Chains A and B, each alone.
Chain A
Amino acid sequence: MSTTTTQSSEAKTTTRELALSVQNLTTSFRSDRGLVTAVSNVSFDLFKGEALGLVGESGCGKSVTSKSLMRLLPEHVTRYGSDSKVMLGSDNVMKYSNREMRKIRGNRIAMIFQEPMTALNPVFTIGWQLDEALRHHTKLNRADRRKRVVELLDMVEIPNPDKRYGEYPHQLSGGMRQRVVIAMALACEPEILIADEPTTALDVTIQAQILRLMNDLRERTGTAILLITHDLGVVAQTCDRVVVMYAGQVVEQASVGDLFHNPSHPYTRALLQSIPRSGKKEKGKRLATIDGIVPSLLDMPKACRFAERCDCRQPQCDVEMPELVNFSGDRSVRCHFPVHK
């Protein structure tokens, strides 16, 4: 299947510039029980200055996708598909050597990890850790680097950045640590920022601070953000487009408005309906659920992977795997019987 590029009705989409293009990404792991394919044929484009949401439930392959892009998975057990491409400009990152990879990690593509508690090294000061990317990727001298680090800390709104420079991670609160992690990711002004559940471990008030910070940075620097999350509320508030994953595949891709107001894939619809809604008339009502469980990676159905749990299942769904079909503009759906309104 091909990726959706520019053919949209919206004016702004015709001028958008590609930052990263993922084509047919397939990631498998060697295991005792054979090759396990965690991500199959995932394709999507990320444009400059946009925030793309990658959503799905635990185990659907969103984190494996993001780590594949950065090639952070353990090499001796990971196999990528032969036609898998991750295009950064005109280069296929999948073909890069480790040395070439190190040049772009933290420089052109940066990543924010989920756990602010474990993403920082407890035995180095935060200043030293922030300085690391600058030491490797820039030619700045020591004094300039220090100035830049303080500037970064100030940018992520950490009070007294000069004093914080010499402090250790345990001296900061969870929200501040996540801000340090963001500052670290932004040290070299990357073109692409991959944020893997950046706010999941944080309280809502701190989450709001972090989301605003990421939005501001995107507007100011034009960094493209790939936001991986299971929280649809966060997606609704921050993303331009959304990719929905289920059992290692992309099942729907759409602009955020289309996805929330007019979901096409039965899985997307079910997911949106299972969130408790505000308001008196919804109160205490039973929530819509998705029956059954996600199929095991070792035993994926050959046909539609969602068929087992789908409420619009037809005979065809058990026989044939639906393709990801591009409908209009930004919308693609992997379903034999998508819902249209």
Chain B
Amino acid sequence: MSFVEVNNLVKHFPIRGGILNRVIAQVQAVSDVSLRIEKGETLGVIGESGCGKSTLGKTMIRLIEPTSGDVRFDGVEITGLSHAELMPIRQRMQFIFQDPYSSLNPRMTAQQMLAEVIRFHDVVPAKETDKYIEELLETVQLRKDSKNRYPHEFSGGQRQRLNIARALAVKPDFIIADEPVSALDVSVQAQILNLLMDLREKFGLTIMFISHDLKVVEHFCDRMVVMYLGTIVERLSCDDIYNQAQHPYTKALLKSNPINDPDDRETLYILEGEVPSPSNPPPGCPFVTRCDIAEERCKSERPPLVQLGDEHQIACWAVTHPANASTSSDAL
């Protein structure tokens, strides 16, 4: 059994309207996502804005209640648990938010902020709290004397360190990091990524790393899933994504990512069209409206996620269907 298992997770947000304020449509933020994360693994979740990657992360630790589907964490199904039952498990799974500017309470010092979490989850005895906080700050490479400072006195990178300290305070095994470096400058981004790599090793953390930056995901993660319009379209190892990727959307993402070589100006690949609305997705493959290898079948039938290699899964009729018709039963 995997450390974290997500089975057929669905999250629909209702759109209300009309004079009776009835539900008139659903935004299908996450539709039927299944994934596994092994202990100690770092899984990257990549996709463009609005593809449902953040909602997936938040639903997985029940910051948002799922519409259907289940999430298993270390063998325990957490979707049906009561609030009280969930608390000890919440302590083991933590979330690092994207925006270091809005995710810290401006009226609490670093010390108060960390102490609150530590007290709530009863991580260490009360009289050791101060010492523990100093240790934590040291772990994330902040100066000990910064504990009496307020968030506005920290720079963006330092705030993100504080966010990481807060997540680590309860000694979690599993961390969901939602775009932890996208608001930062490249040099600061490198510092935070190094820190996360060190901590991952030191504490044996399992990480789900949500990002839109392919370069960062490729560097930091073991495996990645590519999301489009609420579904996973491809799952692959991060070792050699440029040669491995087969889904037309993944390929388009790779090719539209500007590379740092002025001599290699192979014209940026242009993906035509816009993402369909998540409240009215196409009935077949979600990518069909922008795909250049789409077939007739793609318009009507949603492709299942099919095993291609050991660590490679893909949801695309054009890739899986013509080559082999037998593998479709391996769908996850």
Contact = CB atoms under 8 A, between A and B. Distances in A.
Main secondary structure of the interface of A (DSSP, over half): helix
A256 B219 CA distance: 25
A237 B267 CA distance: 8
Contacts of A175: 274
B220 A276 contact: yes
Interface string B257-286: 111111101011111001000000000000
A267 to B, nearest CB: 9
B268 A230 contact: no
Given A205-B252, A284-B197, A290-B187, A234 B258 contact: yes
A282 interface: yes
A145 B245 CA distance: 47
A236 B261 contact: yes
Contact of A286 (B194, B215, B256, B263): B194
B13 interface: no
A1 B194 CA distance: 39
Contact of A204 (B190, B242, B257): B257
Interface string A265-296: 00000111011111010111111111001000
A260 B265 CA distance: 13
B48 A260 contact: no
Contact of A278 (B194, B242, B263, B269): B242
Interface in B141-189: 155-156, 185-189
Interface in B117-146: none
A58 B185 contact: yes
B310 interface: no
Contact of B193 (A270, A276, A290): A276
Nearest to B191: A289
A55 to B, nearest CB: 10
A173 B275 CA distance: 10
Name the residue among A209, A234, A259 with the largest chain B CB count within 10 angstroms. A209
A237 B215 contact: no
Nearest to A290: B187
Contacts of A203: 48-49, 212
Interface string B26-67: 000000000000000000000011000000000000000000
A290 B259 CA distance: 21
A167 interface: no
A260 B193 contact: no
Interface residues of A, number: 46
B259 A278 contact: yes
B197 A208 contact: no
B115 interface: no
A274 B216 CA distance: 11
A83 interface: no
A233 interface: yes
B296 interface: no
B270 A212 contact: yes
B185 A230 contact: yes
B48 A257 contact: no
A35 to B, nearest CB: 23
Contacts of A280: 239-240
Nearest to B42: A284
A52 B173 CA distance: 47
B218 interface: yes
Contact of B187 (A57, A207, A239, A283): A57
B253 interface: yes
Interface in A199-231: 203-205, 207-209, 211-212, 230-231
A271 B257 CA distance: 19
A208 B269 CA distance: 7
A101 interface: no
Nearest to A273: B190
A57 B212 contact: no
Given A236-B259, A283-B239, A288 B49 contact: no
Contacts of B258: 204, 207-208, 211, 231, 233-234, 236-238
A256 B260 contact: no
B238 interface: yes
Contacts of A283: 218-219, 238-239
Closest 5 CB pairs of A and B: A233-B258, A276-B219, A208-B256, A274-B190, A287-B190
8 contacts: A58-B156, A204-B253, A207-B258, A233-B215, A236-B262, A237-B259, A284-B219, A286-B194
Given A236-B259, A256-B262, 8 more contacts: A234-B258, A236-B260, A236-B265, A274-B186, A283-B218, A284-B219, A287-B194, A289-B190
